[in-house]
Amino acid sequence: MKETKDNPIFKAHLKPSNLYVGGKARNEIDSGGKKIFKLSSNENLLGSSPKALEAIRAQINNLSEYPDRTDKRLQIALSAFYKHKLQVGQFLTSNSGSEVLDLIIRAFLGEGLEYITTNPMFKPYQMFSDRMAAKQVDVRLLDPAYTLNVEGVLAAINENTRLIFLTSPNNPTGTYIPKAILDNFISRLPAHVVLVLDEVYFHFAEAKDYTTALPYVLAGKNVIGLNSFSKTYGLAGLRLGYAYTTPTLAAYVQRLYKPFQVNTLALEAGIAALSDTEFLNKTVTLVQKERLFVYEHLDRLGMKYWKSQANFILIKPEMDAKHLVALLQKEGIMVRPVAGFGAPGCVRVTVGTREANLAFISALEKTYTC
């Protein structure tokens, strides 16, 4: 049967454009035999948490059995990670931060309801929400520093608004929302609106006025902090994410849980990773040190970029962004064009090891003339 606009068996809001297209895999790149450095997906170039890998190996022969009936053990580990400020029952866990995001969206959005985004942004906020036939209201971050347009977002709220998506540190800009700004913003939100604060990159932030969603959740605000094990813990291929919020909001979203919500390997790896303080500190130290190293060379080359609180840097070359991406790929360097994230003409590069960063700078010198 041919899909047509008026065919009643198809939902008009389920469009092909709502499919997420991730960055290229390493095996899709032809670098002419050069070593490939994947700096396009904000992955951990140190690899995975050793404790997580050990936990996976210990469970590899138990995959014929179902995992835990609930995510309680992971929630206990998360509660301990947050020094028991958050209790079991306040967490949402699933197969990746993106799937947790999807749970939240399915819980709160539907036809006739609205959500607010702030481009440039992580595209799935829009993609997943559009699948629920909700209406997007976009209030772009303010140029040139990509700061939150507080008054613009507040003015866009109406009786149909249910979700607001903010990211700090933001993907793809690397910028963040200072605590004083968030304090003011959240204090002015009406009771029928839930703020989703995506803080996937929070470990890498070092600004003194940076904040996560934690103080607002503890104060009982309608705020959800969204997180992932993909970046800092190096478990992107395993797909495990979580969020935390008030007991009331968490219990509501949990009504969408499937049987055996989290698979065995992800469950055990996540619990182990949360206790891997040594690997966490090593990762954060590397990123914070290497960010400065990359800044130094970008300054030397006269490249426009934005200071970042995440494990990546947004740059804006004078040449066409896609052309630069293609030239760098020939040198074995994978970076990400981010026009699809709402930042046309810009490229996002992951902060890697010193070897990877040197390779990136060297390739940039060969391919880019300011």
CATH of the domain at 137: 3.40.640.10
pLDDT of residue 369: 57
Same domain, 349 and 242: no
pTM of the model: 0.93
Q: Report the CATH number at residue 341.
A: 3.90.1150.10
* 161 within domain boundaries: yes
Beta 135-138 vs 114-117: how paired, if at all? parallel
Other beta carbons less than 10 A from residue 221's beta carbon = 19
* 11 within domain boundaries: no
Mean pLDDT (10-residue bins), the chain, 370 residues: 66 66 63 83 96 97 94 97 97 93 97 97 93 96 96 98 98 98 98 98 98 98 97 95 98 94 95 98 98 97 96 95 92 94 95 97 82
Same domain, 245 and 283: no
Domain end call among 249, 276, 303: 276
Same domain, 242 and 111: yes
pLDDT of residue 2: 61
* 233 within domain boundaries: yes
Closest CA to 280 of 171, 175, 179, 202: 202
DSSP 84-148: TSS-TTSEEEESSHHHHHHHHHHHH--TT-EEEE-SS--THHHHHHHTTTPEEEE-PPBTTTTB-
The boundaries of the domain holding residue 100 are 50-276
pLDDT of residue 4: 61
Residue written as token pair 């992107």? 236
* 115 within domain boundaries: yes
Closest CA to 350 of 35, 24, 42, 48: 42
Residue written as token pair 């993909």? 230
What is the domain count for the chain? 2
Domain end call among 276, 302, 329: 276
**Contact yes or no for 308/175 (Cβ under 8 A):** yes
Domain end call among 219, 245, 276: 276
Return d(Cα 29, Cα 289) in angstroms, integer.
Answer: 28
pLDDT of residue 370: 43
